[in-house]
């Protein structure tokens, strides 16, 4: 097992962050999760108003560093995924 740190800063009303389809965050903040060695998928679904922003990061371990920053457009929705290996 390895500790992986996820950080979310968001002005949007609705935030869901999952790893391997398991919900790990619903609100801005920092979360440390224990993951087995192997392949994993980080997914996010952010809903809010046009102009809301978010910043989603894997902050540790440093070799897994990832950042997704976005400003919501007129649809007020952003979602996606990022694959990584522990």
Where along the chain do its domains lie?
A: 2-85
Per-residue pLDDT, averaged over 7-11, amounts to 98
Cα 16 to Cα 23: distance, rounded to the nearest angstrom? 7
Per-residue confidence (pLDDT) for residue 8, from 0 to 100: 98
Q: Where do we find the tokens 């800063």?
A: 9
pTM of the model: 0.91
Q: What angle do CA 53, 56, 58 make, to 5 degrees?
A: 165
**pLDDT digit string (tens) for 28-82?**
999 999 999 999 999 999 999 999 999 999 999 999 999 999 999 999 999 999 9
Per-residue confidence (pLDDT) for residue 28, from 0 to 100: 96
Per-residue confidence (pLDDT) for residue 7, from 0 to 100: 98
> Do residues 61 and 4 touch, judged by C-beta distance below 8 A?
yes
The end-to-end CA distance of the chain, in Å, is 9
């Amino acid at each position: 097992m390895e500790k992986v740190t996820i950080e979310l800063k968001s002005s949007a009303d609705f935030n869901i962050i999952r790893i391997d389809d398991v919900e790990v965050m619903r609100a801005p903040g920092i979360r440390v999760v224990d993951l087995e060695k192997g392949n994993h998928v980080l997914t996010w679904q952010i809903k809010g108003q046009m102009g809301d922003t978010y910043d989603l990061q894997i902050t540790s371990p440093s070799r897994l560093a990832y950042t997704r920053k976005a400003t919501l457009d007129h649809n007020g929705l952003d979602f996606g995924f990022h694959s990584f290996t522990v």
